[in-house]
Each structure stands twice: as structure tokens, then as C-alpha cells.
Amino acid sequence: MIKIQNLQSCNLSKSSSNVISHLLVLVVYTAIIIVISLKFTYLLKITLPLFILPVASFFYLFKKTDTKNRLLFLKRSEVEEEVNTLNERLSHQEKLKVALHKKIDRYSYLEGLVQKLSLELSLDGVYKILMKAIPELFKEAGSNCILYLVDQERQELNLACSRVYEGNEIIKTKKGDIFDHWVLKKMQPLLVENVKTDFRFDLSSLQPEQIRPMGSLISVALIAQSRPIGIIRLDSGDIARYDSEDLRLLSTLSDLFALAIQNALFYQHAKELAIKDGLTGLYLRRFFAERLGEEIEKARLRNSSVSLLMLDVDNFKRYNDKFGHIAGDIVLKLIAKMLTTIIGTEANVICRYGGEEFMILLPDCTKKDALLLANNISHGIAAQDIILRRKKTNVTVSIGMVTFPADSQSEEDLINKVDLVMYRAKQLGKNKVCSY
């Protein structure tokens, strides 16, 4: 900060001292003149001019000093104005300097972030990097971070992951709210400085699970190949917590993570193609064999059971011959969907074993429970109407069932025996369930 030296005060003091000195001299001089005039009256005509002369001199000196002081005051005002201007410029430059250092730190962090993301091919890994990066880049914000991914079939948001700032409410809504839907629809960055006063959004339309303390937010769409694949959102309980610079940084982050998430999705899809059937979406035989070995080893350690079900579609060739191979594909896809619905895939493994055969691996499942489940599958598929070429028809399956360790101790023997009892169900008239 620039300061003005107190030069004018010194000048003013000197001027004032000169005036006072002259005034004292004038008073003494006047007193002498008055004494002489009173004592020697005849000298009055001579002493009067002598009295007027110093008085006039004093007023001249006073006027000159006053003019000089005015000029000095004006000069000081000009200098002070210039100094204030320079101080404002210096303050502005300091703010720019701080902002520049902040940008440098942020973009240095982003450089390292790019390297991490380029090496990460799993979605969970990308999520962890994102949730760690947000607090680093927005240290002062105290933000909640939310990542939604778009279900491309339903075109709706699904909560992928979130990080809640300490003390804030957890994220209850899994499908987003009016702010997220706005970003998804517009595919534009969103900055809301005050949630309650922003005319673009009607807070009364929020669902109960969507309501939580919120003052401001920023949100950006993740765009890959010109379509939205998700949304990154930061929100805070404070009003005006974010500015356009924060939104710009989040937009940069969204570009990085959109590419990383897209690569992870491609990698996940490629892995699924290697272990899943393209028609039904069920696991392939090789993956099933690997999981069977793993589950048997676990069952040995836990002293528990593992059950196997083998299904074969009855009279499948007849559907192909009567309705065509496309109809056969429809039947297989429908059965795969029903099996997934009835059994679930959280712990169980459903596999397209070959042609019209399906295999189901049931960890921690007893012979009794497996038999009950097999009958539910048989009845459920038989009761399902199928429309093939505008004709209503039904499909049945024959099911064989074996259990480890009750029926066999080895993987190969289990598969042979379940195949054997499945064909026994065929021989008994089809649409049957047989156990070893």
C-alpha cells in the first residue's frame, strides 16, 4: 500500500510560523509607533505612514501565504487521488495473483487426475477417483457430490455414487430431482446461487424424498458421443456458495469423467461379451464351470450345500419348424427373462448351457429348497402365454436337479448326473421335475 509523506504539513507549519513571527514583529512595531505618537504629537504626521506600511505588509504576507496553502492543498488532493487509484490497482493485482495461483494448483491436480483416469478401466475405480477429487478441488465449498448415470433404455437417471459432506443429510432420491432433470433435458451447465429464489424451478414439485437443506448448487451433464451418459452435481446448504469459475471447473471435470466412464462402460461390455450370451444375456458355459468349482470349494469349507438345475425346452425344434428360427430366439429370450425374475442373480448363476439348455447354480441351497424352486420355475414358464406370429402358445421345460454333497462330490459327476435326471424328466412325459 502506497502512503503519502507528510510534506505538506511541514510546509503549512512553516508558513504558519512565518505569519506568527511577522505578526509579533508588527505588534511590537505598532506599540513603539503608538508610544512615540502619544509622546511627540507633532510627529503624528510622520509616524502614521510608518504605521500603515507594516500593516499593509502583514496583510500582503498573509494573502500570499493563504494562496500558497490553497495550492498545496489542491496538490495534495491530486496526489491522494492518484495514490488511491494505485492502491486499488495493486489490490486488484493481488486478487488476480491469488486467483492465478489457485488455477495453477487446480490444473496441476487435473493433470495428475488425467493420468489416473487413463489407467482406470473399472466403473467402481472411476467413482472412487471422482469422490476423492471433488473435496480436493472444492476445498472451501463443503459440498455434497452426486453422480447419476443415465439408463439408456429408459432414459432416466440412476444414482451411481455420492459423497455427503460431514453433517449433511444423506441422499435419499435415486432418480434425481427437478434440477437434475433440467440438466439432463437441456444438456447445459447449471448454476443456482439461491435455490429458493431461482424462478426456473418450482420447489413445491419436489417429492418428500427429494427435500433436504439446500442453498445453492452447480451441475453439469456428462456427454459422450453427443449424448448424455450422466450428471455430476455439487450442492451446499449455503447460499451463493458457487460462482461461474466453480462451474467452469466442474465442466472441465465432466469432460474428463465422461470419457473415463464411457471407457469403463465399454470395457465392462467387452468383458460381458466374453462371458455372456449375446441373445439371452445369460452367462456362458465356461464362466458357469469356473463358478461351479469356486462354489463347491466354498461349500466344502462351510459344510454347506450347492444345488444344480438343468432345464431343457420341450419340443423346441417344433417351434423353430412351425414359426421359424426368430420365434425360437423369442422363446429363449423369454425363458431367460423369466428365470432371472424368478431366481434373481445376486448370488445365483444362470447360464445358457447350449442350444435350448439352461443351467442354474444355487449356492447354499439344500435339496429340498432346490426342488421347490424347480417346481416354481416349471409352473411359471408353463403358465406364461407367448405370442408367435400372432398366435398364442405356451412353452414347457423339463428340469433335472442334483445337490452337492448329497448326490456327488465332484464337479464333473454332478454335471453328468443332472444331465441324466433331466433326460429322465423328458422320458416321463416332459414338463416334469426330477431329482437324483
- Joined grid coordinates for residue 411: 464337479
- First-to-last alpha carbon distance for the chain, in angstroms, is 93
Which CATH fold would you assign to the domain 120-274?
Beta-Lactamase (3.30.450)
**DSSP 8-class letter at 164:** P
14-28, 137-151, 254-268: least confident range: 14-28
> Can you give the pTM of this predicted structure?
0.59
For the chain, the residue count is 436
C-alpha span between 204 and 300 (Å, rounded): 57
Q: According to the model, what pLDDT value does residue 93 have?
A: 84
* Helix/strand/coil for 181: helix
pLDDT digits (tens, 9 = 90+) for 151-207: 988 889 999 999 887 766 778 888 999 999 999 999 999 999 999 999 999 888 888
Nearest to 416, CA basis, from 313, 308, 315:
308
Please give the full DSSP string across 211-237, using - where no structure is assigned: ----SEEEEEEEEETTEEEEEEEEEES
Query: What is residue 155's predicted lDDT score, i.e. its pLDDT?
Result: 87
DSSP letter, residue 405? T
Q: The cell 429464489 sits on which residue?
A: 197
- Report pLDDT for 7: 43
Predicted confidence (pLDDT) per residue in 201-254, tens digit: 988 888 888 888 889 999 999 999 889 999 999 998 889 899 998 999 899 999
**More confident of the two residues 429 and 53:** 429
DSSP code of residue 169: P
**Cis peptide leading into 135, omega within 30 of 0?**
no
The most distant pair of C-alpha atoms in the chain lies apart, rounded to whole Å, by: 166
Rounded CA separation 306/86 (Å): 82
- What is the fold of 285-435? Alpha-Beta Plaits (3.30.70)
Least confident of 58-62, 82-86, 152-156, 198-202: 58-62
Q: DSSP string covering 227-287, please? A: EEEEEEEEEESSTT---HHHHHHHHHHHHHHHHHHHHHHHHHHHHHHHHB-TTT-PBPHHH
What mean pLDDT value characterizes the chain? 83
**In the prediction, which pLDDT does 1 show?**
54
Whether residue 430 is predicted with pLDDT greater than 50 in this model: the reply is: yes
Q: Which of 46-55, 200-209, 427-436 has the highest mean pLDDT?
A: 427-436
